């Protein structure tokens, strides 16, 4: 799904789309997104700005959600390593 273009707070890449992990859904505030360039976990705020999650916020997530985020982040690191 196309979103308003915004810069990743970590890697500064321009982000302009999003998708659901398991189905195509429209994101809503408090949903989590991950930058596929650098792996930064973010949460949509009320204005649909992707705001970075702190380590404390990550640890406070349900275990299953935390594990899913970490799996995606590991996959991103592996993809980047395979390209180099």
Q: Which residue has the higher pLDDT, 4 or 63?
A: 63
DSSP secondary structure string for all residues of the chain:
-EEEEEE-TTT--EEEE---SSS-----TT-EEE-TTT--EEEE-TTS-EEEPPHHHHHHS-HHHHHHHHHHHHHHHHHHHHH-
How far apart CA 41 and CA 34 sit, in angstroms, is 5
Domain segments of the chain: what residues?
A: 2-83
Mean of all residue pLDDT scores within the chain? 91
Give mean pLDDT, residues 20-49: 89
pTM value is 0.86
What was the pLDDT predicted at 17? Answer: 83
């Amino acid at each position: 799904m196309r979103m308003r273009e915004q810069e990743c707070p970590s890697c500064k890449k321009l982000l302009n789309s999003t998708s659901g992990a398991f189905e195509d859904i429209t994101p809503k505030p408090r949903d989590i997104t991950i930058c596929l360039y650098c792996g930064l976990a973010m949460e949509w705020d009320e204005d649909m700005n992707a705001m970075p999650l702190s380590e404390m916020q990550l640890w406070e997530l349900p275990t299953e959600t935390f594990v899913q985020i970490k799996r995606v982040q590991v996959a991103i690191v592996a993809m980047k390593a395979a390209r180099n």
